Structure 1
Amino acid sequence: MKRLFKNKILIFNSISTTLYLLGIIGYWTFMPKYFETQFHKSASTASLITDTRCDYFGWSPDWMQKLTDIKVYIVVYGLVGLVEGAVGSYGVATLTTIEKRFKLPSHISGLSVSSWDIGLVCSTFFLAYLGNSGRKPRWVAYGTFMAGVLCISNVLPHLIFGAGEDAMSLAKSDNSSDQVEQESCVLESNENTIAAILLIVSNLVLGMCSCTYYTLGFTYLDDNSSKDKAPFILALVFCIRLIGPTLGFTLAAKCLKLFIDPTIQPKITNDDPRWVGWIFFGIGNMILAICMFPFPKRLPNASNTSEGLENNSKGRTIKGSVGLACTALGIISSGIVISYFKPSPRYLAGWNVLVESLDVLGHFCFAFFGCPIGNIQGSWDLSGWNMTQSCNADLLCDDDIKYNPMCADDGSTTFFSPCHAGCISEVLNASMVYVNCSCSADGIIDKGVCPVDCNYNFIIFLILLCILRYSSASGRAANTMIQFRLVLCFIKIYNFIYI
C-alpha cells in the first residue's frame, strides 16, 4: 500500500512538472511579442501620473501619496514575509496535533504539507506571467489576503467538527479506551476524511498564493531601488523574514500548551502523549494585504534610480521560474535514485563535493556573461565624453545633471537626460512631462534606456543556470540523509537545526 502511494506521488509530481515545463515553452512562444510591444510603446501623461499614485480602487487622496516611498514598502513587504514564514513554521509545529485530532495517517499529513510546495511550483510561472505586466504590489496584496483566508480555512475542520470524541472523553476519564458506539466511529471517519481534504486543498492554494511574494514582490523591490542600495535592501528584507519561523514555532509552543478545547479541563497534562493542543493563527496576512494594496505600479522616484528596462523584470521572472523547476526536478530525481540504488554515505558525500565544486565553477563563469552596452549619445573629445550637440547646445546642460535616460525614436540611441535630448520641460500635476525634443526627428522620445538585444546570451545563461540548479539540488537529499544517519539518535533534533 505504501509503495502504491509513493508511486502515485511520483506520478503526480511528474505530471505537475511536465505541465510546468509546457508553460515555460508557452512563455518563450508568446512573451517576446508582448515585450516587443511594451518596449516601443510611449506611455501617455495620464498613465504616468496614475502609475505613481497610491489608491484604493480609484480613491487617491493627496495625504496617501506620502506612502509612495521605498522605505514604507520595505517595512510592509518585510512584515508580509515575516507572517508567511510564521505560517509555514506554525503549520509544521502543529502537524502532530492535527494527526492526532483527525487520526490522519502519516502519508496524508505529509501530502498536506507537500501540497504547499506543489501549489507553489505549479503556479509560479502563471502568476508571474499575469502579474509581471500589471501592478505588482496589488498582486502581492491579493495573494497575501487569500493566504490569510486560507489560514482561517485550515482551522475550519476544528471549528466545524469540534474537539472530537477523544478529547471529550479525556475530560471525563483518564482512560482513553472507553467503548464508542459504531455509529460514532462511522461519523468520525467521515469527519476525518473531510478534514483531510480541506487541509490538503487549503495548503495547495496557500502555496499558490505565496508565490506572488517571492516572484513579483522581490521584482518590484529591485525595480524601485537604486542598484547600489539593492543588496542592502534585499538583505534587510531577508533578515525581517527570518524572524517569522521563530515567531511561528514560539506561537505554536504557546498554543499547544492549551488543550484543544480551552473550556474543557482534561485529567491529563500536556506531557501525556494523548494531549491534543489548540490550533490557532491570527489574521495578520489580511491586515498586511490591506497595507500592501495601495502601492502604485511604480514609485515616483523609480525613474531616477532604475534604468527603466522591462527586460530586467522579464529576466528575473524567467530565471526564478526556470530555476525553481530545475531545483524541484533535482530534488525529486535524487530522492528516487537514492531510494532505488541505496548508495553508501561515502558515495553520497563524494557526490556533494562534486556538485558543489561545479556550482562554484559555474558561478565563476557567470562573470563572463553580459549584455552589450547600449549606444549612449555623445562622442569623445579632449575633455572626455562630450554629449553636447547642435540640437541641445542652446539648453546649456549642466555637467552635474541627474541621470534620467531617454530613448530616441530610432530605438537605438539613449540620451543621458531630457536636456541632452533637447526637450523642453514643464510641470504638470507634480510630474515632469517632456515635449518638443529637438534631437529627435519627430520630437517624440520614450522614457528610459533603449532596449538591447541580449537573447542569445540570456539563453546560454539559462542553460547554465538550469544545470547548476539541478546538480546542486540533487545533493540536498543526499546531504540531508548523511546528516540524519551519521549522528546519534538523541542529538538528531539538534542536527536538524543546521540543515
Structure 2
Amino acid sequence: MLSFNIKYYKVPIIYFIRLHVSCSCKISKEPHEQTKFLNEKQAAVEEAHECGFWFLRGPQLQRFATENVYVVVYGIAGCLITMAYSYFTGTITTLEKRYKIPSQVSAVITIGNDISTTFTSAFLGYYAGRGHRPRWISLGLVIIACFCLLMTVPHLLYGSGATALQLTSEFATNLNVSESADRSLCNKLEEDCFETTSWTPIALLFAAQFISGVGCSLFYTLGVSYMDDNTNKAKTPALLSWSAFLRMLGPALGFSFASLCLRLYISPELSPLIQRDDPRWLGAWWLGWIILTVILLLSALSMCMFPKALPGTIVRSQPLTELSLKHMLQCIRRLLRNKVYVFNNLASIFYLFGYMPYWYFTPKYIETQYKQSASKAAMATGTFGLGFSAAGVLLFGMFISKYKPSARAFAAWNALVDLLTVAGLIGYVFIGCDGSDSATAMSPYNACSSTCHCEYVHFAPICAADNVTYISACHAGCSSKQQNELGIMEYSDCKCISNSTVVSQPLIATAGACPVDCSQQFLIFLAVMCLLKFVGASARTSNLLLALRCVSAEDKSIALGFASMILAILTFIPSPIFFGWLFDFNCVVWGKICGSRGLLGQGNCWLYDTKSLRYTMNIVAAACIFLGSFWNIAVWYYAKNLKIFDEQEHNAKELELEEPIKLET
C-alpha cells in the first residue's frame, strides 16, 4: 500500500521537489541579479561624476568638480566669447577702411552669428541637452576658436593692402607726395576713381561670424541649464549673477585689447609715415584674433574636464521617449502652451529689439552726437557702462539670494525696469548739443567746389576762420597747404571760404574740425546711460530665472534653445539692420567706391543729421520697450503659482522619482 502510494504520488512528489529546488534557486538568484543591477547603476553614477576624458582623468581632478569651480570656468569662457565679439566691434572701423566696406554691409556681417543661431539653437538644445553637456559646451568653444582663426584669413590672403604699404618708409619711393597730385586739395583734375573693393573678404568675414553662432548656441543653451541642474536652487541666482559678472568683463577687455592692437600699424614690421590720428592709419586688427584663438582652445580644454553631473547631485535618468523630430515638436508645442514662457519671451523680444542699437551703436552715437574721439567713446561704453552693468547684476543677485522674491515680484520688477528704460531713452532726446546739430546745416557740395572734383576725396575736415567746418580742403576750394611755425597744417587760397566769411579775414583754414564743446551734454548723457545700464542689468537674473522655472526639467535645454532661435529671428537679426538703416537714413554726406553698385558703391557715411538721428532712434527704441512692458504685466498675472525657491517641494519630487526599487521578500 505504501509502495502504491509512493508510486501513485511519485510524479507529484518529484514535481514538488523540482519546484521547491527551482524556487529556491530563483529566490537565491534574484538578490544576486538585483545586486548586479545596483552595482552597474552605481558604476554608471560614478562614471557620470568622473572628471576628465581619455587619459586626462584621475582622482586628483575630482576636487575641482564643484559648482563654484564650474561657475568660474564657465564665466571665464563667457568672458572670452564676449571679448572676441567686442574685439570685432572695436576693429570694425578699421575693417571698413581696409576692405572699403560700408556700414550697412558691416551690420550684415555682424548678424551672421544670429542667423546660424536661428537654425541651430533649438535643435542643439534638444539633442545635445540630453548628452554630456560639458563636452558639448567645450565643442562650442572650439567652434568659436575656429571663428577667431577664420577672421585672420582675409589678412593672410590679401595682406596689408597697397594703400597702407605706400604710407611706410620702406615703400616711400612709390608714394607720390607732390602737392599737384594731392587729392585733398582743389586741383581741378578730372575725377580719379581709384578705390575698389571685393566681395571675397566680406564673404570670409560673414562665414566666420556664421559658424560662431553654432558655438554660442551650444555654450549659452547648455551652460545655463547645466548650472541650474547641478546646483542648489537657492544658490542659482547668486551663481548666475557671478557668471554674468565674469562675462561682462569681456567687453572691457575686448575694447582694450582692440585699442592695444590698433596702436600697431597693420604691418608692424614696417615704419609708417603717418601718425595714429591720421584718417588713413590702419592698425594691426588681425593680431588679436590669433591670441584669442589660443586662449579659447585652452578654455575649451578646461570645460571638457567637467563630469556629466557634478558630485553630490542626482543623476537624472534620461527620458524614456526616443529622441526624434516628432518628440522635439511635441516639446515645442508644450512650450507654446506655457503662457508664462510665451509672455516672458515676448517681453524680451520687444525690450531687446529696442535696446539692441545701444549695444551696437553707442560708440558711434557718442562720436556723432557729442563730438568725442573714438577712443573716448569706446572707453565710455566699455568701462563706465560695464561697471554699472556689473554692479547691477551682482547687487540684484545678492538681493535675490537673501530675500528670495516670488515669481510675481520678478515680473513686476521687469515691467518697472522697462518703464524706467523708456523714461531714460526719452531723456536722451533732450540731451543734445547745439554745436553738433548746427554742423550739419552746412552743405558739403556747392557750385564753388564743383570744379574741384571732390566726390571721391576722403573725409578730412578743416576749420575755416569763421568757425565753419568743411568736409575737406577740396570742398573748401583750397589749392595749397603748408605747415605753420607750430607744426599745424594750414590750407590757403580757399576760394569757397570767401562766400561765407568777412572779406577782411584771410582765406585760410586749419586741419581738423572746428572745436565744439559738448562736454557738459556728454557727461549728462553718460550719467543717464550708467543709470540705465545698472537698472537694465538688474533684470537679467530675474528674467532668466523665470525662463528656467516656468518649464519642466526635461524641457529646460530646448526651452532656452528655442527662445534663442526666436530672439534671433525677431530681434538679433532685424534690429541691427533696422537701426543701421535708420543711421543711414539720417546721413547727409556719403562717400563713394569705384567699380561697384548698390551698398558697396555707397561707401561710408561722413556726416549725420544729429538732431534728426537723436529723435528718431530714441523714440522708436522707447516705443518698442514700452510695448514690452505690457507682456511683463501678463507674466505677472500668470506667474502667481510659479515656484522659484520652493526647495522642499522640489526635493520631495526628486526623491520620489529617484527612489530605488525595493526587493520584496
One of 209, 213, 238 as aligned partner of 1:203? 209
Partner SS state of residue 273, structure 2? coil
User: 1:172-251 maps to which residues of 2 (within 5 A)?
Assistant: 172=172, 173=175, 175=177, 192-251=198-257
Number of the residue aligned with 2:278:
272
Q: Is the 8 A contact 2:121 2:561 kept in 1?
A: yes
Q: Is the 8 A contact 1:149 1:286 kept in 2?
A: no
Partner SS state of residue 302, structure 1? coil
Q: Is the 8 A contact 2:92 2:106 kept in 1?
A: yes
Instruction: Quote the offset at 1:69 in angstroms.
Output: 1.5
One of 636, 639, 644 as aligned partner of 1:366? 639
Determine the C-alpha separation between the residues in 1 that align with 2:578 and 2:276. 41
Bigger Cα displacement from structure 2, 131-140 vs 111-120? 111-120
Number of the residue aligned with 1:157:
154
**Does residue 327 of the first structure (1) align with residue 567 of the second (2)?**
yes
Instruction: Quote the offset at 1:119 in angstroms.
Output: 1.6
Change (3 A) 1:258 1:328: same
**Does residue 104 of the first structure (1) align with residue 112 of the second (2)?**
no
User: 1:483-498 maps to which residues of 2 (within 5 A)?
Assistant: none
Determine the C-alpha separation between the residues in 1 that align with 2:155 and 2:68. 40
**Does residue 295 of the first structure (1) align with residue 306 of the second (2)?**
yes
Bigger Cα displacement from structure 2, 72-81 vs 123-132? 123-132
Change (3 A) 1:166 1:210: same
Determine the C-alpha separation between the residues in 1 that align with 2:130 and 2:300. 20
**Does residue 437 of the first structure (1) align with residue 662 of the second (2)?**
yes
Q: Is the 8 A contact 2:75 2:247 kept in 1?
A: yes
Determine the C-alpha separation between the residues in 1 that align with 2:252 and 2:126. 33
Give the aligned residue type for 1:356.
Answer: S
* TM-superposition CA deviations, 1:271-313 (whole Å, max 9, x none): 111111111221211110011112111011112xx98897744
- Unaligned stretches of 5+ residues in structure 2: 1-36, 184-192, 320-550, 583-611
Determine the C-alpha separation between the residues in 2 that align with 1:351 and 1:142. 36
Bigger Cα displacement from structure 2, 215-224 vs 114-123? 114-123
Q: What is the alpha-carbon root mean square deviation over aligned residues?
A: 3.9
Number of the residue aligned with 1:423:
none
* TM-superposition CA deviations, 1:167-197 (whole Å, max 9, x none): 1111124759799xxxxx99985xx433222
* TM-superposition CA deviations, 1:72-96 (whole Å, max 9, x none): 2111101000000101110011111
Structure showing greater Rg: 2
Number of the residue aligned with 2:67:
70
Instruction: Quote the offset at 1:239 in angstroms.
Output: 0.6
Number of the residue aligned with 1:483:
none
Number of the residue aligned with 2:346:
none
One of 554, 559, 562 as aligned partner of 1:314? 554
Number of the residue aligned with 1:130:
127
Q: Is the 8 A contact 1:139 1:212 kept in 2?
A: yes
User: 1:443-482 maps to which residues of 2 (within 5 A)?
Assistant: none
Q: Is the 8 A contact 1:137 1:295 kept in 2?
A: yes
Higher RCO, 1 or 2 (CA under 8 Å, sep at least 6)?
A: 2
**Does residue 356 of the first structure (1) align with residue 596 of the second (2)?**
no
**Does residue 258 of the first structure (1) align with residue 498 of the second (2)?**
no
Give the aligned residue type for 2:636.
Answer: H
Give the aligned residue type for 1:295.
Answer: F
Bigger Cα displacement from structure 2, 116-125 vs 325-334? 325-334
TM-score (structure 2 length as normaliser): 0.46
Number of the residue aligned with 2:25:
none
Number of the residue aligned with 1:452:
none
Change (3 A) 1:347 1:138: closer
Partner SS state of residue 276, structure 2? coil
Change (3 A) 1:64 1:347: closer
Change (3 A) 1:66 1:97: same
Change (3 A) 1:175 1:309: farther
Give the aligned residue type for 2:164.
Answer: A
Number of the residue aligned with 2:28:
none
Number of the residue aligned with 1:46:
43
Change (3 A) 1:187 1:126: farther
Instruction: Quote the offset at 1:49 in angstroms.
Output: 1.6
Q: Is the 8 A contact 1:174 1:268 kept in 2?
A: no
Determine the C-alpha separation between the residues in 2 that align with 1:211 and 1:295. 19
Q: Is the 8 A contact 2:118 2:566 kept in 1?
A: no
Number of the residue aligned with 1:166:
163
Determine the C-alpha separation between the residues in 1 that align with 2:196 and 2:282. 16
Partner SS state of residue 367, structure 1? coil
Determine the C-alpha separation between the residues in 2 that align with 1:237 and 1:336. 30
Give the aligned residue type for 2:88.
Answer: G
Determine the C-alpha separation between the residues in 1 that align with 2:215 and 2:106. 20
Partner SS state of residue 128, structure 2? helix
Change (3 A) 1:178 1:64: farther
Change (3 A) 1:318 1:242: same
Change (3 A) 1:348 1:196: closer
Instruction: Quote the offset at 1:403 in angstroms.
Output: 7.6
Instruction: Quote the offset at 1:404 in angstroms.
Output: 9.9
Instruction: Quote the offset at 1:145 in angstroms.
Output: 1.5
Q: Is the 8 A contact 2:154 2:201 kept in 1?
A: yes
Q: Is the 8 A contact 2:125 2:562 kept in 1?
A: no
Give the aligned residue type for 2:626.
Answer: V
Partner SS state of residue 57, structure 1? coil
Aligned residue-pair number? 340
Change (3 A) 1:227 1:308: farther
Number of the residue aligned with 1:463:
none
Give the aligned residue type for 1:327.
Answer: L
Determine the C-alpha separation between the residues in 1 that align with 2:219 and 2:94. 28
Give the aligned residue type for 1:198.
Answer: L
